[in-house]
Structure 1
Amino acid sequence: MKASQSFDSMISQVNSANVGVSMFYDSVTGKMTLNRTETGNFNGAEYTDPDNPGDSEIITKGSFIQDQLNFSNATETGGNDAHFTINGLSTTRSSNSFTISGVTFNLKQTFSAEDVTVNISNDSNTVFENIKGFVEKYNELIGGIQDRLQEDRYKDYRPLTDKQREEMSDKQQELWEEKSKSGLLRRDSTLSSALNDMRRDFYTPVNNGEIPSAMQQLASIGISTTANYLEGGKLEINESKLKKAIEENPEAVEKLFKNDGTGYGQQGILDRLTDTANKVMDTIKTKAGNTFQTENQYTMGRQLDDLKDRISSFEKRLVQVEDRYWRQFTAMEKAIQRANQQSMYLMQQFGGGM
């Protein structure tokens, strides 16, 4: 703390330092409180000050905090762990919020020794919101792919040369490149195939022997494609139908989305989509490569190498043609020079004989 620093500034600095304690000053009583931010009983040997024996949850040192803030005469109120018995096993937790066997408990108050029965049920609303969020993200993906597949191509906007860039402003270059890159994925076979595969992943029934026949497709639980075919297979939700399916048979709904299977028909929809996404990424990697591959390890790299070789061969041919033309031009100049010399000689001969 600096000499010019106020109490409020110091307290704010401590509270924002994330050091496991918080400070509070009561201007009415003139007292300051120092609290552990972590709950529970932390009185123990590992927290004992060797210079001041005795259990202490918070150890204060230094003349400023001890004398100026008067923590040397502070009264400590220790925290307590939560003590409880679950399924006949007595245990403790330092926090009132804890998780056992996948179930999160929040203890709100103490209670008498009689048994408390905890009924565990599925959180249908959370399941519904998760599925709804998944559908929204899927529709965003489909929309993005559709936009790329249908994007206009501006053939007149070719990549800029260095000379063209020098003559244009940054904004003009940005607008030009936006037009130049537009439509590069128009009707791309990889993206088109990915769309078709994802539609198949959704439409194909999930038949693993555990899901009732009436719930083996998304449409049976209220998820179907929109009526507008131009949207490319976006999904829409019949909320009441989906909520009913979740309430009546949540396990089947879960298996419909997430189920490991030995065959495609047994896989859950999310497992299928994962495989489809991996296949698309492998295709892109084979075609465009990644940062760990050399150019000869992927299709576009090999095409680029081939193009470089063709350019190099063309440049060599150009040099050869240029050399040939220079030789021909030089030979022609020499021939003209000889012809001029012969002409002058003849003119001199004819002139001398007259």
Structure 2
Amino acid sequence: MMYDSFSDKMSMRRTETGKFSETGQDMKISGSFMSDALQFNVATNYTEGKNAIFTINGLETERNTNNFQIDGVTFNLKQTFAAADGPVTVGVTNDSDAVFENIKKFVETYNTLIDEINGKVTEEYHRDYKPLTDDQRESLSEKQQEDWEKMAKSGLLRRDTMLQGALSTMRTDFYSPVNNGESAGSFNQLAQIGITTTKNYMSGGKLEINEAKLKEAIEGDPAGVENLFRGDGEGYGEKGIARRLTDSVNSTMDSIYERAGRATATNQQFTIGRNLNDVEEQIQRFQDRLTQIEDRYWRQFTVMEKAMQQANQQASYMMQQFGGMGMQ
């Protein structure tokens, strides 16, 4: 709502642009204050909104806003055009800096993942730190318990075949050429765009970027760079690196879920859970066996105790008899 001091008039407009109502007015006023005090009369002093109508690539369309997207391109209409003005040519350029930053972030994320997995499969295992018993916990502070459990859990994934296999698969995904029709005559390996493994073999296969070479590739053949990462196909060799990694990571996650389960899974739905159930059943059977042995020993002890009581009674009786014979 706006007041114009020159014309001494109030005006009101919608926050949305365009035509919203096909059968009536886009704005309605209720109550006497707007009509009586401010003299608003929608019936006579109302200007209907209009949609933007335009033709793009031979197809006429309309939008209720001047700012819209078509096929990932953002348009912002600044003025009206007449048919006699002729067509407007729209030029689209690639944002090389954004592509470079996305690839750089992709490589950094991959290197972080490599660090984490390598850290787990090479972590030292401390054999002297066994799981704490309830009695041991009572004698330790919370901080001491946390430190102990941290040491006890370290190395649990050392040389884990599943994680080592995932590392090997991801390295293969990166180094195997991308061979599909779209990449012919363009890039089919990361080294061609400046992405290679580090020279330090201790890094576990982390990647490094030759920024100048990567930027040159992006500016010279952006479609080739995109296909190298996002190319699609039925076979492994036809898929881009990002698609290969997605498939490999999903496959690894499925294997992890099969072994370790999800947060909502029951023990019967994953391998470790079923193993835990088996261990619990073994513990229960062992406890039942101990109870049976204990009951048997108690029965034997009771029988032996009764036999000893009888023997003591007989011995006492005999002593009495012998004592009586001596007095005669």
Instruction: Name the CA shift for 1:105/1:304 in 2 (closer, same or farther; >3 Å).
Output: same
Q: What is the rounded CA distance, in whole Å, between the counterparts of 2:151 and 2:6 in structure 1?
A: 68
* Displacement of 1:197: 0.8
Contact 1:149 1:185 in 2 (8 A): yes
* Displacement of 1:273: 1.0
Q: Deviations over 1:260-317 (max 9, x none)?
A: 2232222211221122112212212321234676544432232122212211221121
RCO comparison, higher one (Cα < 8 Å, 6+): 2
Quote the residue 1:335 is aligned against.
307
Instruction: Name the CA shift for 1:241/1:25 in 2 (closer, same or farther; >3 Å).
Output: farther
Quote the residue 2:179 is aligned against.
207
Quote the residue 1:322 is aligned against.
294
Quote the residue 1:60 is aligned against.
29
Q: Deviations over 1:157-212 (max 9, x none)?
A: 55555666677776665555544444433332211211111111101111224424
Instruction: Name the CA shift for 1:241/1:302 in 2 (closer, same or farther; >3 Å).
Output: same
Task: Mark the runs of 5 or more structure 2 residues left unpaired by the alignment.
Answer: none
Q: What is the rounded CA distance, in whole Å, between the counterparts of 2:261 and 2:315 in structure 1?
A: 69
Q: Deviations over 1:17-63 (max 9, x none)?
A: xxxxxx56789999765432222234x443x2xxxxxxx33212123
SS at match of 1:233: coil
Instruction: Name the CA shift for 1:327/1:34 in 2 (closer, same or farther; >3 Å).
Output: same
1:93 aligned to which of 42, 63, 83: 63
Instruction: Name the CA shift for 1:175/1:26 in 2 (closer, same or farther; >3 Å).
Output: farther
Q: Counterpart of 1:105 in structure 2: which amino acid?
A: F
Q: Number of aligned pairs? A: 322
Instruction: Name the CA shift for 1:210/1:140 in 2 (closer, same or farther; >3 Å).
Output: same
Q: What is the rounded CA distance, in whole Å, between the counterparts of 1:244 and 1:99 in structure 2?
A: 29
Work out whether 1:40 is the aligned partner of 2:18.
yes
Work out whether 1:107 is the aligned partner of 2:77.
yes
Instruction: Name the CA shift for 1:91/1:259 in 2 (closer, same or farther; >3 Å).
Output: closer
Q: What is the rounded CA distance, in whole Å, between the counterparts of 2:224 and 2:231 in structure 1?
A: 10
Q: Counterpart of 1:341 in structure 2: which amino acid?
A: Q
The farther-off stretch of 199-208 and 105-114 is 105-114
Q: Deviations over 1:235-267 (max 9, x none)?
A: 221111111112222222122112222322222
Q: Counterpart of 1:61 in structure 2: which amino acid?
A: S
Aligned-pair Cα RMSD in Å: 3.3
Counterpart mapping for 1:1-354 below 5 A:
34-42=12-20, 44-46=21-23, 48=24, 56-67=25-36, 70=38, 72-73=40-41, 76-110=46-80, 113-155=85-127, 158-159=130-131, 177-212=149-184, 215-290=187-262, 295-354=267-326
Contact 2:111 2:207 in 1 (8 A): yes
SS at match of 2:208: strand
Q: What is the rounded CA distance, in whole Å, between the counterparts of 2:293 and 2:34 in structure 1?
A: 90
* Displacement of 1:127: 2.0
Contact 2:186 2:224 in 1 (8 A): no
* Displacement of 1:218: 0.7
Q: Counterpart of 1:319 in structure 2: which amino acid?
A: T
Contact 1:260 1:268 in 2 (8 A): yes
Q: What is the rounded CA distance, in whole Å, between the counterparts of 2:144 and 2:9 in structure 1?
A: 65
Contact 2:166 2:248 in 1 (8 A): yes
The farther-off stretch of 138-147 and 163-172 is 163-172
Q: What is the rounded CA distance, in whole Å, between the counterparts of 1:181 and 1:29 in structure 2?
A: 79
Quote the residue 1:5 is aligned against.
none
Instruction: Name the CA shift for 1:342/1:107 in 2 (closer, same or farther; >3 Å).
Output: same
Q: What is the rounded CA distance, in whole Å, between the counterparts of 2:205 and 2:49 in structure 1?
A: 58
Task: Mark the runs of 5 or more structure 1 residues left unpaired by the alignment.
Answer: 1-22, 49-55
